[in-house]
A and B are shown apart, each in its own frame.
Chain A
Amino acid sequence: MTQPTPFDEMHNADGSIREPYRELDRWLREQPPQALNLMATDAEGIFRRLGITFAVYGSNEGTEKLIPFDVIPRIISAAEWRRLARGIEQRVRALNAFLHDIYHRQEILKAGRVPEKLILQNAAFCPEMMGIDPARAVYAHIIGVDIVRTGPDDFYVLEDNLRTPSGVSYMLEDREAMLQLAPDLFQRHKVAPVETYTENLMRTLESVAPEGAGASPTIVVLTPGIYNSAYFEHSFLADQMGAQLCEGQDLFVEDGFVYMRTTSGPERVDVIYRRIDDDYIDPLTFKPDSMLGVPGLFDAYRAGTVTLVNAPGTGIADDKAVYTYVPEIIEFYLGEKPLLSNVPTYNCTNDDERAYVLANIGDLVVKEVHGSGGYGMLVGPTSTRAQREEFRNRIIARPDNYIVQPTLALSTCPTYVNRGIAPRHVDLRPYVLVGDQIRITPGGLTRVALKKGSLVVNSSQGGGTKDTWVLEE
């Protein structure tokens, strides 16, 4: 699967322009020399004024930074998108069915299709969720599926983010910025809108309100506060929905119901889009020292008086070790063949596979099972000898704590860099909403590794973003 040259989304092997990029190519040729540079400067101004920042943990340069934005959009054809969307929809249906099963009868474990130990002894399994029936049997309502591409028809799912996926505000603001920066470029394409996302988010949240909430349920966004790396996004989404942006201290539970503290006293809350991790939502049920959560929240949830979005315990379905079983999960619940492939993954607890991994670590990508955001990760080809040695020892010590994958030749997109336009590696995170129906926003967040040759696209590791266009026919 590793290719000598990565797939270029704009150019065919013979240098000709691929169909979806024809008009962009013409447009780029028409631009005067300084145009892209000016756009890049304007873009920075737009984002800085809006306060679109994120925090980098462990960084000394203050708590706020801008995520670099690349002014050249990434373009996906209608046909490519149809394929992707079908595959994504299949995946999220199967994963929600899996979650319902795991927290009820556990048929898939009884059938021996997924090892019992892998689930029941997994830190991401949440025994408190056993027997709870969330509205519409939806556990993961808001999902970001990380997809990489290696060829014209080769898409792989790298990760399913079912906990509290972030980045959707960048998808929306990148589009907003792009519309301001290059309106003429939009006029020359039929780009599917992404602005429908917030409207669909509201519909989704309303559709999973508890019974008795009435026609217009009260929805709040629960944030850990301004020091969280995704705080901008929390406030952005609350603002877009006209929902209250609450911190734990703004909510309390009394007689089994959740209330917020308003200037005129308590007001009932029906749906909580929480951007706080499971462990911190309720100090009485989970981490007792959490200051971020709401004491008694989980009891109210169990009693069905409030809906938590996403449900606690969804992490068991996007666990990196469970990931390898997703094709199995799709077949078990839907009786269908997976439409989107997983990246082949080595299991280090298997002696043969571990031996292969240890011998070839320089060609592989090693990920910590519970790591995220590009922390605790080794990219073999760009690692130092010392790093490889360290990860070899870590794998030997705790083989179950790592998954290993071949280094994928991620596709590249033309990107504006210091000296002009150059190919840089990208991935794609489409956003999926699951409620009364499944809604997938056409496009998603394209993350781009700005360093030449780098395969790590995470913003915490110096990655940037691009506006992502799905063309309509």
Chain B
Amino acid sequence: MTILGRTAQNLFWLSRYIERAENMARLLEVGYRMSLTARREGGPSEHLVSMMQAAEVDEAFNAKYEVADIASVAQFMLFDEDNFSSVRSCLKAARTNARSVRTALTLDMWESLNAAWLEFAQMRPRDVTGPRLQEALQWVKQVSHQFRGALMGTILRDEGYAFATMGGYLERADNTARILDMKYYVLLPRANLVGGDVDIQQWTLILRAASAHRSYRHVYHDRYKAWNIADYLILRSEMPRSLAFCFSNINRTLDMLTEVHGARSDAHMAADEARAMLEGNSMEKIFAYGLHEFLTEFIARNNRVTDALSESYNFY
């Protein structure tokens, strides 16, 4: 039996919200570290602002706050409900979605979401200043890991699993693309292929935002290089936050849906179009096309997959 369209929609979004909470924590972590160590390139606020631009929450921030310092940005990214992507907003939306489809969740999934929300509700902005901020961000990532673990480890491999998984990968692909786009210009190939100190520092942070700064060495056996970093986060299918990885999983999950429904849907077509930008592509071609242009186009195609899913599987 197939599931309710509303159930599919709720599972999809609840998973997206948890993934988004994790990514917001990652972005904030990067913004925070950049602002701590920045010397030459602008003041502290500039990194925080470009981080918020990447998350597309800068306008909401400017409408409410005067100065982008670490205190105001942390408050905004973690606790502010006027920020629809804040950790609070994400956890709350995830739990509300989960409550609406309690029956489609395993007890372990529900417990992980519920416990996270109850714990977060105890957290106060004054508790997460200074060194405690990174602790709090680590906690958010743990919440996401725990939920994903419960999802992978306990849910039936049926349609519900497919929609929940897809939500996570689409959100992650979107976010990785945005992280890259935030600093695409420091990744552009230049005459001098070996970056200066500032570049290296920024590349490290980009990798760090994707938990990729250690694994990079295992894959490339090389110093940080802009070209490799872009390749790693875009085309490397063994890198679990890369666009290629996300889409190979999205593809596999869509195949599950084809099996359940007996036919491919528009969502497959939309995903094929996004995947076409990755498969058989190379960094030479991507740089020739323009990295920023490539990422913008990818984000748009990624969004169309969500639209097509809603259409094809009766989200409402």
Chain A interfacial positions (CB closer than 8 Å to B): 48-51, 225-226, 231-232, 235-236, 238-239, 243-247, 249-250, 260-265, 267
Contacts of A265 in B (CB 8 A): 314
Q: Are A262 and B103 in contact (CB under 8 A)?
A: no
Taking CB atoms, residues of chain A closer than 8 Å to B107 are: 50
Q: Which 5 A-B pairs have the closest CB atoms?
A: A235-B102, A263-B313, A264-B2, A262-B2, A239-B103
List, in ascending order, chain A residues with CB within 8 A of B96's CB. 226
Query: Which residues of chain A come closer than 8 Å to B100, judged between CB atoms?
Result: 225-226
**A267-B103 contact, Cβ under 8 Å, with A49-B111, A249-B316:** no
Known: A51-B110, A231-B99, A239-B103. A261 touches B2 (CB 8 A): no
CB atoms of A250 and B6 under 8 A apart: yes
Task: Please give the distance in Å from A38's CB to the nearest CB on chain B.
Answer: 20
Assess whether A261 is in contact with B102, with CB atoms less than 8 Å apart.
Answer: no
Q: How far is the CA of A51 from the CA of B6 in the complex (A)?
A: 21
Is the beta-carbon distance between A250 and B99 smaller than 8 angstroms? Answer: no
**A250 with B4: CB separation less than 8 A:** yes
Q: Are B102 and A263 in contact (CB under 8 A)?
A: no
On chain A, the residues within 8 Å of B7 by CB distance are 244
> Among the interface residues B7, B103, B118, B261, which one has the most CB atoms of the partner chain A within 10 A?
B103
Kindly list chain B residues whose C-beta atoms are within 8 Å of the C-beta of A249.
6, 316
| Contact, CB under 8 Å: B4 / A235 | no
Determine the chain B residues whose CB is within 8 A of the CB of A226 once the complex forms: 96, 99-100
Docked-complex contact B5 and A263, CB < 8 angstroms? yes
On whether the beta carbons of A261 and B6 are closer than 8 Å, the reply is: yes
Least CB distance, A176 to chain B, in whole angstroms: 11
Please give, as numbers and ranges, the residues of chain B lying within 8 Å of A246 by CB-CB distance: 4
Which residues from chain B sit less than 8 Å from chain A, CB to CB?
1-8, 96, 99-103, 107, 110-111, 114-115, 118, 159, 260-261, 313-314, 316
The contact of A245 among B1, B8, B102, B260, by CB within 8 Å, is B102
Q: A262 CA to B260 CA in the complex, in Å? A: 12
Name the B residues within 8 Å of A225 (CB-CB). 100
- A246–B114 alpha-carbon span in the complex (Å): 22
Query: Could you list some 11 contacts between A and B, CB below 8 A?
Result: A51-B102, A51-B110, A225-B100, A226-B100, A232-B102, A243-B103, A244-B103, A246-B4, A249-B316, A263-B8, A264-B261
Q: Whose C-beta in chain B lies nearest to the C-beta of A251?
A: B4
**B316: shortest Cβ distance to chain A, in Å?**
7
A263 with B314: in contact, given A245-B102, A246-B4 (CB under 8 Å)? yes
Say which residue of B111, B261, B313 sits within 8 Å of A50 (CB atoms): B111
Contact yes or no, A238 B6, CB < 8 A: no
In the complex, the chain A residue whose C-beta lies closest to that of B257 is: A263
Give min CB distance, A317 to chain B, whole Å. Answer: 31
A267–B2 CB distance below 8 A:
yes
Given A264-B2, A267-B1, are A238 and B8 neighbors across the interface (CB < 8 Å)?
no
Decide if B103 touches A261 in the complex (CB within 8 Å): no
Kindly report which residue of chain B lies nearest to residue A242, judged by CB atoms.
Answer: B103
- Determine if B103 and A263 form an interchain contact, defined as CB atoms under 8 angstroms apart: no
> How many angstroms from the CA of A244 to the CA of B160 in the assembled complex?
13
CB atoms of B118 and A247 under 8 A apart: no
Pick the most buried of B3, B8, B316: most chain A CB atoms within 10 A of its CB.
Answer: B3
Bound Cα distance A51, B313 (Å): 29
Given contact pairs A51-B110, A226-B96, A250-B4, A235 touches B118 in the complex (Cβ within 8 A): no
- Give the most central of B96, B99, B111, B313: most A CB within 10 Å: B99
Known: A262-B3, A263-B159. 11 other contacts (CB 8 A): A49-B114, A49-B115, A51-B102, A239-B103, A243-B103, A244-B3, A245-B101, A249-B6, A260-B4, A261-B316, A262-B5
Partner of A261 from the list B5, B114, B118, B159 (CB cut-off 8 Å) is B5
Residue of A nearest to B98 (CB): A51
Complex interface: chain A residues within 8 A of B159 (CB): 263
The distance from the CB of A115 to the nearest CB of chain B, in whole angstroms, is 45
Q: Which residues of B contact A48 (CB under 8 A)?
A: 118
Contacts of A239 in B (CB 8 A): 102-103
Q: Tell which of A50, A235, A264 touches B103, judged by Cβ atoms closer than 8 Å.
A: A235
